[in-house]
Amino acid sequence: MLTLFHAPRSRSTRILWLLEELGAPFNLRYVTIRYMDGSGDGPDPANPHADKKVPALLHDEALVTESAAVATYLADLLPDAQLAPQTGDCDRGAFLTWISWIEGEFGPAIFGRLAAGAGSPTPAPFVAALRRLDDALANGPYLLGERFSAADVMLGGTLGWARDISPMDGPLPAYLARLAARPAFARAMARDAAPVDQAA
């Protein structure tokens, strides 16, 4: 059985969305975390993540943490959903590259842009990252061309919390609209926050 340890409006929201896309049964356990703005109730002893962060995925006895690892693990675990090219597929390299780039390059570029503040020159890494995304999306509706994958879930979730600093025109807004129109995205957003009567 799959169990996702999740905190609302966090990095684990992308994994919740991915699980909805995969269509596999899973348990959703809400845990508390300390958010970057200082809000939140802090570490939750029920969270199995070594650093009490999210996402944390428990698959039977196997614990997987860190977003890129969890996304790759799940997409490979459930190949019938076709959200990850398998080893030997010509798109496998691009898929792994995007998954790693989103976490290792794009995320830090976003934080650099936010740290610069409004009215400051846009940092070069953020400009370069947006150019790379524009170039990729010019070749198809998704990062792998016509092929929707877990990499799009990861990117879409990342862009979701960077909406205020994202371009208002060009390929990215249309890309986000395509992603938001997916039924699995709507299901995930409906489950993102814990029910009012459920303790986190």
pLDDT in tens, 140-185: 999 999 999 999 999 999 998 888 888 888 899 999 999 999 999 9
Domain boundaries, the chain: 2-82+185-191, 92-182
User: Is the separation of the CB atoms in 172 and 166 below 8 Å?
Assistant: yes
Q: What is the average pLDDT score of the chain?
A: 93
Q: What percentage of the chain carries pLDDT values higher than 90? A: 81
More confident: 20 or 41: 20
Q: Sorting pLDDT into bands at 50, 70 and 90, what band is 200?
A: very low
CATH of domain 92-182: 1.20.1050.10
Phi/psi of residue 143, each to 5°? Answer: -60, -30
pLDDT score of 161: 81
User: Is the separation of the CB atoms in 171 and 134 below 8 Å?
Assistant: yes
pLDDT score of 197: 41
C-alpha pair distances (Å), 132 with each of 79, 103, 175: 28, 15, 14
Token pair 């977003």 is at which residue? 67
The CATH superfamily assigned to 2-82+185-191 is: Glutaredoxin (3.40.30.10)
Strand bridging mode 2-6 / 56-59: antiparallel
pLDDT score of 118: 83
Q: Sorting pLDDT into bands at 50, 70 and 90, what band is 196?
A: low
**Beta partners for 2?**
26, 59
For the sheet containing 2-6, what is the strand order? Answer: 26-30, 2-6, 56-59, 62-65
Q: Sorting pLDDT into bands at 50, 70 and 90, what band is 35?
A: confident
Q: Which of 105, 147, 156 has its CA nearest to residue 128?
A: 105
Q: Tens of pLDDT along 46-85? A: 999 999 999 999 999 999 999 999 999 999 999 999 999 9
- Model-level pTM? 0.93
